[in-house]
Amino acid sequence: MSEETPIIWMRPEKPARGPAPTYSRRQIAATAIKIADEDGLEALSMRRIAAELDTGAMTLYRYLPTKEDLYTVMLDEAYGEIEHRPPTGDVREDLRVLAHARRALLLRHRWLMAVALGRQIFGPNMARSNEKYLALVDGHGLGIDDMFAVLALVQRWVTGFVQDEIAAAEGARRSGLDLEGWQRRTAPYVVQLLETGEFPYLARVVDEAEHRSLDVQFEEGLAMVLDGVEARLKLCSPKE
Amino acid sequence: MSEETPIIWMRPEKPARGPAPTYSRRQIAATAIKIADEDGLEALSMRRIAAELDTGAMTLYRYLPTKEDLYTVMLDEAYGEIEHRPPTGDVREDLRVLAHARRALLLRHRWLMAVALGRQIFGPNMARSNEKYLALVDGHGLGIDDMFAVLALVQRWVTGFVQDEIAAAEGARRSGLDLEGWQRRTAPYVVQLLETGEFPYLARVVDEAEHRSLDVQFEEGLAMVLDGVEARLKLCSPKE
DNA sequence: AGCTAACCGGGTACGATGTACGCAACTGCT
DNA sequence: AGCAGTTGCGTACATCGTACCCGGTTAGCT
């Protein structure tokens, strides 16, 4: 009943009484991020972090009561890396830059989307980012709800794009294969599908696809998204 | 070297020689889906599935060599639930219906997005779905790459929307709290943020937000997405 | 008909994980 | 000076995926 632990961000970093802490939440988060970046999310264990910091696993629990809290601080720490530019007045261009920054972040920390999923992130860094994001779409006649909707549209599309972008590579990595070996494993199945003749579009993909670079695909998809955004903006400011 | 196991879909269901199998991949997948639907992804273990089927855990490995393969068949089985309508010619409406069907699927199986992330799904059901999806956007002058881009735009946005839609509820469920208890835990932190005065937009959210229903938000966001799609379609078919 | 290879169900066991609990050492407050 | 609150951290436990093994079943070959 009375045992409800407060959210991680409300726990004081410095103790009132005892010896000074040797580590810090941010330091632990940074170590965890390094491990996840280098060896993948499945390599991230409390013991591994502790080993990296040359201490015992249970030490970490003085800073983060559960692994769930570790994820929380990792997320916020990573989101803190996004650099923000002040709004230029050109919403379309500002959102385009934001989209590219987000894609770079998600590619730099490939574990990020998996950890972010199903969690709502509202640490200090994320809260600060939110302010900067909203500033980009403010002043164009949109209410706060629509401002959110517009930003969410862009962010969600970027997230989805990067998910697809890294899905194959991640599948290969998880199974311990290189990309070539992984494709060698899946190719026969695709052939088998094609031979049934029931997948005409799949066949078209195989021999019509232009294999545009991911950068090009990103830019083109983003253009579509921003067209949707601009359509919405024009609805709210018919002037000029 | 020679030990590369083929992809799960290429393994024959019926054995050539031995006794007839008691279970089947689809049956195991269905059981797993039931568990994940009811008790969440973290309750899904091989032992739990086996118990549900009244057998030993190791029996499952005759059907699915790893848990990774379990995820694969679960995904495909779930995607098989999507019902498809033939294209009506009204792309916008067809995509709207598709978006609603996808949202319903993701809400019915809240584990689906977590499992789908970082895996590319190409089981038989998904391959069939793909054909139906592509048919919806075919015949409007788009090349196969652009057809994919348009579909991906819609699907990604829906996925992102539902992720946000269930994030709070999932956070509460994982921590074993009800939604009210969970909000009681987070509220003080939001208050603390507001008191710093550094989050003017957050303040606006708190006292200006209209609290539109999720259904309304979905429809409005989707409208924006489809505006982007229509802009692209018009580029390719200037006639009519 | 009998043999054998291939396959089944499933028990035991192992290494890894998150973390509850406890204990000695240290430090600020009274 | 002494106590209360804190630190780092070792031990221990339940749970997980799954490697390995075994005895029974069956299809095809001789």
pLDDT in tens, B25-75: 999 999 999 999 999 999 999 999 999 999 999 999 999 999 999 999 999
User: pLDDT class for A237, splitting at 50, 70, 90?
Assistant: low
pLDDT tens by residue, B152-172: 999 999 999 999 999 989 988
A175 touches B: beta carbon within 8 Å: yes
% of residues, chain A, pLDDT over 90: 81
Instruction: Give me the half-sphere count of Cα atoms (radius 13 Å) on the Cβ side of residue B58.
Output: 0
B186 touches A: beta carbon within 8 Å: yes
CA B151 from chain centre, in angstroms, equals 15
- pLDDT at position B11 is 93
Tokens found for residue B171? 């956070």
Tokens found for residue B218? 């979905």
- pLDDT at position B1 is 37
A contacts of B6 (beta carbons < 8 Å):
185, 188-189
Nearest to B234 by CA among B140, B161, B145: B140
Q: Which amino acid is at B7?
A: I
Q: Residue B10 and residue A224: Cβ atoms within 8 Å? A: no
Nearest to A212 by CA among A161, A172, A171: A161
- pLDDT at position A121 is 84
First-residue to last-residue Cα distance in chain A:
59
- pLDDT at position B2 is 39
Average pLDDT over residues B223-229: 96
A66 touches strand C (CB under 7 A): yes
pLDDT tens by residue, B165-205: 999 899 889 888 888 888 888 999 999 999 999 999 999 99
The per-residue pLDDT of chain A, averaged, comes to 93
Q: Which amino acid is at B104?
A: A
**Ranges of H-type helices in chain A:** 25-39, 46-52, 67-79, 91-108, 112-116, 124-137, 144-174, 179-196, 200-208, 214-236
User: pLDDT class for A6, splitting at 50, 70, 90?
Assistant: confident
Task: Record the pTM.
Answer: 0.95
- pLDDT at position B168 is 87
Which positions in strand C are less than 7 Å from the protein's CB atoms? Answer: 5-13, 16-22, 25-29
Distances (CA, A) of A178 to A171, A181, A197, A198, B6: 10, 5, 30, 30, 15
Q: Residue A120 and residue B171: Cβ atoms within 8 Å? A: yes
Q: How far apart are CA B98 and CA B136, in angstroms?
A: 9
Which positions in strand D are less than 7 Å from the protein's CB atoms? Answer: 4-11, 15-21, 24-28
Residue A3: pLDDT above 60? Answer: no
% of residues, chain A, pLDDT over 70: 97
Q: Which nucleotide does the CA of B56 lie closest to, via C1'? A: C10
Q: How far is the CA of A60 from the C1' of D8 (A)?
A: 9
Q: How far apart are CA B215 and CA B217, in angstroms?
A: 5
- pLDDT at position B238 is 57
Q: Residue A4 and residue B181: Cβ atoms within 8 Å? A: yes
Average pLDDT over residues B122-139: 96
Q: Are A63 and A25 in contact (CB under 8 A)?
A: yes
The per-residue pLDDT of chain B, averaged, comes to 93
Q: Are B33 and B26 in contact (CB under 8 A)?
A: no
Q: Which nucleotide does the CA of B58 lie closest to, via C1'? A: C10
- Going B214 to B215 to B216 to B221, the CA torsion angle's sign is positive
User: Counting Cβ atoms within 10 Å, is residue B19 exposed (0-12), middle (13-18) or buried (19+)?
Assistant: exposed
- pLDDT at position A175 is 84
Distance of residue A54 Cα from the nearest chain B Cα, in angstroms: 30
Of A119, A188, A229, the CB nearest to B10: A188
Q: How far apart are CA B220 and CA B226, in angstroms?
A: 10
Q: Residue A149 and residue B68: Cβ atoms within 8 Å? A: no
User: pLDDT class for B121, splitting at 50, 70, 90?
Assistant: confident
Distances (CA, A) of B240 to A5, B139, B140, B233, B236: 63, 14, 12, 12, 12
Return the number of other C-beta atoms located less than 10 Å from residue B207's C-beta.
8
A84 touches B: beta carbon within 8 Å: no
Task: Specify the DSSP class assigned to residue A34.
Answer: H
Q: Which nucleotide does the CA of A15 lie closest to, via C1'? A: D6
